[in-house]
A and B are shown apart, each in its own frame.
Chain A
Amino acid sequence: METITLLAWAFDSLLGLGLLWLAWQSLASPDLFKAIVLFFAFGLLMALAWVRLEAPDIALAEVAIGAGLTSALLLAVLAKLRATEINDDTTEPLENVEQTFRSFQWFPTVILLLVVAGLSYTVLSLPPYATGLSAEINTNIENSGVRNPATAVLLNFRAYDTLLEMLVLLIALLGVWSLNGAVLQSKTAPGLVLDTLSRLLAPMLILVAAYLLWVGAHASGGAFQAGSILGAAGVLLLLAGWRLRPALTALPLRLMLVAGPAAFIAMAVFTMMIEGQLLEYPKQYAGILILFLEIAATLSIGTTLVALFLGGRPSNNFPSNDFPSKDEEHK
């Protein structure tokens, strides 16, 4: 057993050092594309680190959202940046911006140092041995309606955290939508292989999302993981050139986006009236209520992530025929 511990120790050290190295390389790389690829690798290693810390729920979320979708978002931003750079002949304003940024560099440095100091203080002032809240969760889990401690915390004991997270996602999308109304345009046709891949994978991804949502009640999984898989399916379909019909991007899309937050808020009001406490479910219905909330949250999270990837408000006024659009009916 001694060699096994030694091996695990060596693996963990390598993992930790690799994470630090990748983080630094990603930050220091002048080539933005390389930085994004390094960031993706960082996310994958980070997920491994979460697995080593025996937190598979966070590992799943990290690999799907932290590594996968964030990198896809960054790549989409990079494509837009390059497009505007080609259109802009004048590079002077950018240099001015850089100079202004340099003279203000001390400001983020000070903020970062303050955060580091605060975090260090907090970590150092933690008691050296603490059991955490797992004992309390385990004694109360029978009342939560689910058997997975992570889901019990996220959807029952601390459900208002999840409510706020849903709202943060929605507000982020509103921010993106208020910035521009332009929609990602692909210049080249997706090609047969990507088209076939999207047709093969999209149904399977939807199935996996449903599985993760269902399995979240008693094992690793849940709304955020399932939602990010749905989001990945949407991103794949967007990349392959599929677009929603304008009729669907108007009201139906917006309804999907607010379904999760709306369900949470409705549930909060409902439980306030029934039980007198925010998001405290009646015990015998806790399981089914949590499932209902998770389904709404999954749909909203997936839709929001795809909408974020699209990077602009889909117009509901004029039919957008500027980009190659495909309809099932035309096929």
Chain B
Amino acid sequence: MTMSDYLSATLLITGAIFFLAGTLGLLRFPDVYTRLHALTKADNVGLGLTIAGVAVQAESWAVVGKLLLIWVLVLLAGASVAHLIARGAQHRGIHLWKR
């Protein structure tokens, strides 16, 4: 294993931890809004770290560009879809969870 292998392994594992946290939040949080929060925040960073981990191994800058494009597109789609779901939930009259 070279230095870059260690680097991408660290990034990938950290990313996986974020995905795990997001999934835990999706399963355990009390209402749709908090679940969305857990999912989008954790997945955005998780995917970013995963992409960074893969990009370290990329053969050319073109591949790095494609990977970054994937991340940006998922960020865009994820944020918009989270907004749409939250808006739909609000339209349906689902109240915010209060302790």
Interface set of A (CB-CB < 8 Å, partner B)? 188, 191, 193-194, 196-197, 200-201, 204
Q: Which residues of B contact A193 (CB under 8 A)?
A: 80, 83-84, 87
- In the bound assembly, the distance between CA atoms of A210 and B61 in angstroms comes to 21
B contact face: mostly helix, strand, loop, or mixed: helix
Contact A200 B76 (CB under 8 A): yes
| Size of B's binding interface in residues, CB under 8 A | 8
Q: A193-B84, A197-B80 are in contact. Are A204 and B91 (CB under 8 A)?
A: no
Q: Which residues of A contact B73 (CB under 8 A)?
A: 201, 204
Q: Which residues of A contact B91 (CB under 8 A)?
A: 188
Question: In chain B, residues 44-99, which have Cβ atoms closer than 8 Å to a Cβ of chain A?
Answer: 73, 76-77, 80, 83-84, 87, 91
The 8 closest A-B pairs by CB, nearest first: A197-B80, A193-B83, A193-B80, A194-B84, A191-B87, A200-B76, A194-B80, A197-B76
Contact A201 B76 (CB under 8 A): yes
Closest to B82 in A: A193
Minimal beta-carbon separation of A51 from chain B (angstroms): 15
- In the bound assembly, the distance between CA atoms of A196 and B91 in angstroms comes to 20
B73, B80, B83 interface centre (most CB from chain A within 10 Å)? B80
Q: Which residues of B contact A194 (CB under 8 A)?
A: 80, 84
Q: Which residues of A contact B76 (CB under 8 A)?
A: 197, 200-201
Closest to B69 in A: A204
Closest to A239 in B: B84
- In the bound assembly, the distance between CA atoms of A193 and B81 in angstroms comes to 9
Q: Which residues of A contact B77 (CB under 8 A)?
A: 197, 201
- In the bound assembly, the distance between CA atoms of A197 and B72 in angstroms comes to 13
Return 15 A-B CB contacts under 8 Å, by A number.
A191-B84, A191-B87, A193-B80, A193-B83, A193-B84, A193-B87, A194-B80, A194-B84, A196-B80, A197-B76, A197-B77, A200-B76, A201-B73, A201-B76, A204-B73
